[in-house]
Structure 1
Amino acid sequence: MQRRRFVQTGIGVVGGVLLAAKAASAMPATGSGGGDRPWSMPEEGEPHKRTWMAFGASAAYGDVLPEARRNLASIAQAIARFEPVSMLVRPEEMDIARGLIGGANVELVPAALDDLWMRDTGPVFVKGGGKAAVDFNFNGWGNKQAHGQDARVASLVAGRAGVRTVSTELVLEGGGIEVDGEGTAIITESCVLNANRNPGWSKADVEAELDTLLGLKKIIWLPGIAGQDITDGHTDFYARFARPGVVVAALDTDPKSYDHDVTKRHLEILKTATDARGRQVQVEVIKAPTQVRPEYKTKDFAAGYINFYVCNGAVIAPEFGDAEADSAAKATLARLFPNRQIVQVNIYGIAWGGGGIHCTTQQEPVD
């Protein structure tokens, strides 16, 4: 399960101002272009214009830093076989990135970065009378990590993509929300309803705001678990939509794991849930690997298959060297995504840092 590593300390500051919820003067959820728009967030499997990534592994990776960089390059190269990739890179690391990635279809964009988790720091793209990008006020997963540079990533990406920015007072990371593109989302309470992000917000408040921002009509709330990893239990390590009405869910079979009971509870909730169109949700389970290479195994190691990424024509998924579990995960994904190639990538360095492939990516839908 996801055990995102606490790689820095302190609270992100930009211009001497703490980065929490937006100030009262922030642009409204209707977007900087003005006028009400029925925004909606496309499902990940809808056609992409490109994938955004960040070559921003922190120095806290220590001896694992070269492996993490190689993993980022491998993920980018795998995706670039199917769609363009734009990767933010610190100027001083540009030569390293070029040397590892090379080839066509990967654009390297100079940018200041704190870390590599584009899913959380980047914007969430929406459509409706045009395309826009929602800035969800990244605050270092509840001010657990310095994030002065990463707090700017959403607006930087929106500008680079040439789309308007939609603002909100809600604090949320992309990894904390999973949508089916038809008005349904899965969200963990432990993340979005946490006082370290949204003090005073109720479920009803969040649901109303996400209806405006993302076109959500039904949220399936999972409890998640707070305080065990830096994200407080992101959705994208617990449950993902394979398509509307079909959810792929994680099961931690280790009774000693803190995720054991919570993943069992999540399955109970999902198996009785209905979506925004009233359909009973079909649940498919993928078990985590039971073994990983010992030199990378730590309490923070993110050993799970749910954190895959769906791009144009493919599903980019992890492999962990557990032949039986890797094969079973690939077979399940191939069955659920029959019209896409299943490409497995070794991500030991990324998983050592507590995340996965989905955590390193953010899709931009076609115009």
Structure 2
Amino acid sequence: MHPSRRTVLHSAGAGAAGLALGTLAPLAAHAGQSTQDGQVTAAARRMTVPLDDVPHVRTWMAWPSSRSIWGPDLAGVQQDIALIAKTVARYEPVLMCAADESAAATARTRCGSAVTVISTIPVDDLWMRDTGAVFRRDGAGAVDAIGLNFNGWGNKQTHRKDAKVARLLAARESLPFTTAAFTGEGGAVETDGDGTLMATESSLVNKNRNAGLSRAQVEAKVLAAYGADKMIWTPGLKGQDITDDHIDVTSRFIRPGVVMVQVPPADRTDIWAEDAREQLAILSAATDAKGRRLQVLTMSGPDTLRSDNPDFVDSYLNFHLVNGAVITSQFGDRAKDAGAKQALAAAFPGRTVVQLDVDRLMGGGGGIHCSTVQQPTAQ
């Protein structure tokens, strides 16, 4: 990444955070699979956030319409969100949430008939990965949703509407909903769907989200929410961007036991380059919840960009998996763009890799994964 990501200069002031509305039990109340003697197994009853590659019901997105947040960049960011939505809609349904009916009308015009746009779940901004519900499954056909008490990345941006999005998504889908016992964002936590999570300490063990909680306390609450057993932490970077360094820009689970890390060019020595190298070193030495030594794949970041925006996020790894495809970015560096496409095609055999120019969005400090969230099927 370049030296800064989604700086607080884009923010519109802090809004009221959503309050936690309950505590989260790691086991669901409904019945799960039974053993031969009729006893329900804990593994079957446990609600777990699956890996992104499971089949999806749909992708959720949010339409940007706030000039107080985006200023003169709004039209370009809308262009990119529409491109992402139309691309994802070739593979699975897209449901776009808009702030009001006026914003919804604009979104319908830009996105076309393949994308469903609603104004009944109002939004402040476009970052659905962070504001939307995190969906879980139990292995026995049940799906529920959790909310992570979104507070504007530590009260850095207005979020009165965004704080309610997760609950409203669950209500629209008639899914059981629980709020987690910690404050965070979906982009801050990567899951392998098999018991292991990874995150940066800077984004969760941070007084602007979880004041007074130790790393061990935050870890226990995150594991309970995600139905997981082990957390792999990297230090991350506090206060350098609005997210406090979400891990989904640099390191992603490909499948259980396998991660991919985007590594910067050798001559990069800025704080983001050093952060990426630190993540690579930690993950290369880590084992997962099943005791497997992680296999770490690497992808080279671009050498050149079309943009000179200091907030630009040059991440190929901020991709979104959809049914049958991988939607990722390209930056105009022909060799590195081609290498990224090849690496993702090898990592996800059988999926089409689609690369998009979404430079306006990436200049806002986030990417394709940040602006989408998947709703998995029940099985």
Aligned partner of 2:233: which letter?
W
Task: Say whether 1:51 aligns with 2:68.
Answer: no
Instruction: Give the corresponding residue for 2:165.
Output: 153
Task: Give 1:57 deviation, angstroms.
Answer: 4.6
Q: Which residue, out of 7, 11, 14, partners 1:8? A: 11
- How far apart, in 2, do the equivalents of 1:308 and 1:177 lie? 15
Matched letter for residue 328 of structure 1: G
1:70 aligns with 2:79: yes
SS at match of 2:208: coil
Structure 2: distance between partners of 1:226 and 1:99: 39
Q: Name the residue aligned to 1:280.
A: 293
Unmatched 5+ stretches in structure 2? 32-44
Q: Residue in 1 aligned with 2:40?
A: none
- Pairing of 1:256-271 with structure 2 (within 5 A): 256-271=269-284
Alignment deviations for residues 173-211 of structure 1 (CA, whole Å, 9 cap, x no partner)? 000000000001111101010111011222322232233
Indicate the residue corresponding to 2:318 in structure 1.
Answer: 307
Tell me the CA shift for residue 98 of structure 1: 1.4
Residues in 1 aligned to 2:222 and 2:77: alpha-carbon distance in whole angstroms: 33
CA distance in 1, matches of 2:357, 2:7: 19
1:89 to 92, 98, 101: 98
**Aligned letter for 1:117?**
W
CA distances 1:138-171 after superposition (whole Å, capped 9, x unpaired): 0000011111111111111111122111112300
Moved more, 209-218 or 303-312: 209-218
Q: Which residue of 2 aligns with 1:116?
A: 126
Are 2:18 and 2:164, in contact at CA under 8 Å, matched by a contact in 1? Answer: no
User: Aligned residue for 2:156?
Assistant: 144
- Show the counterpart of 2:246: 234
Matched with 1:189 is 201
Counterparts of 1:168 and 1:338 in 2: how far apart (Å)? Answer: 34
Q: Are positions 1:318 and 2:329 aligned together?
A: yes
Matched, 1:27 2:22: yes
Which AA in structure 2 matches 1:79?
V
- The aligned counterpart of 2:70 is 61
The question of whether the paired residues in 2 share the 8 Å contact of 1:298 and 1:352 is answered with yes
- Aligned AA (1:213): A
Residues in 2 aligned to 1:264 and 1:28: alpha-carbon distance in whole angstroms: 36
Tell me the CA shift for residue 9 of structure 1: 3.4
Does the Cα contact within 8 Å between 1:32 and 1:164 map onto a contact in 2? Answer: no
Q: What is residue 36 of structure 2 aligned with on the other side?
A: none
Letter in 1 for 2:163: A
Residue in structure 1 matched with residue 135 of structure 2 by the alignment: 125
Higher mean C-alpha displacement, 254-263 vs 343-352 = 254-263
Question: Matched residue of 1:283: which SS?
Answer: strand
- Cα distance between partner residues in 2 of 1:65 and 1:32: 42
Distance 1:8 1:231 in 2: 12
Identical columns (%): 42
Superposition TM-score, scaled by structure 2 size: 0.89
Q: Structure 1 140/153 Cα, relative in aligned 2: closer, same or farther at 3 Å? A: same
Aligned equivalent of 1:298: 309
- State TM-score, norm by structure 1: 0.92
Task: Note the aligned Cα RMSD (angstroms).
Answer: 1.9
Residues 76-100 of structure 1 show CA distances to partners (whole Å, capped at 9, x for unaligned) of 1111111111110132122221121
Q: Secondary structure at the match of 1:358?
A: coil
Would you say the 8 A contact 1:40–1:214 is kept in 2? yes
